[in-house]
Amino acid sequence: MNRIGLCIDLGLLQAKHSDIFQHPHSADSEVIVEWRALTVILLDRIAETVRKKLNMNAEQLPLVKILQGGTWSAGRKIANELRAGLPPIQLESDGTVF
């Protein structure tokens, strides 16, 4: 969930209501579904921006490399600094939801 939290931590996404940070949400809740959907869109935009700055195309720099080499690592680092590694929005999960 760290790359998903990264978008909130960096201010790319903002909560409609601050109370969503106060308690865990189920994986099928509107909050989690919307958060994940918006993050997917933002990850595509981040990938486009990085490729453009590096003068590369999707074949040369696929999304998986951006996710692993950039957003995942950055998400972990920032989450550790802000919340001991926890995501900004708590997810009720048995570990099978990612």
Residue 24 domain flag: no
Per the structure, the complete domain to which residue 34 belongs is given by 29-82
Residue 58 domain flag: yes
The number of distinct structural domains making up the chain is: 1
Residue 17 domain flag: no
Residue 37 domain flag: yes
Mean pLDDT calculated for residue range 14-34: 90
Q: Which two tokens stand for residue 55?
A: 């003068």
Kindly report the CA angle at 37 between 32 and 38, in degrees rounded to 5?
A: 100
Residue 98 domain flag: no
Residue 35 domain flag: yes
Q: Quote the crossing angle between the two packed helices 2-9 and 30-54, to the nearest 10°.
A: 80
Give the H/E segment covering residue 64: helix 63-66
Residue 47 domain flag: yes
pTM for the whole thing?
0.71
pLDDT digits over 28-79, tens only? Answer: 999 989 988 988 898 899 999 999 999 999 999 999 988 887 777 888 888 8
Report the pLDDT value the prediction gives residue 13, as an integer from 0 to 100: 85
pLDDT class of 98 with cuts at 50, 70, 90: low
Residue 62 domain flag: yes
Checking 15-18 for CB contacts under 8 A at 24+ apart, the result is: 15/89
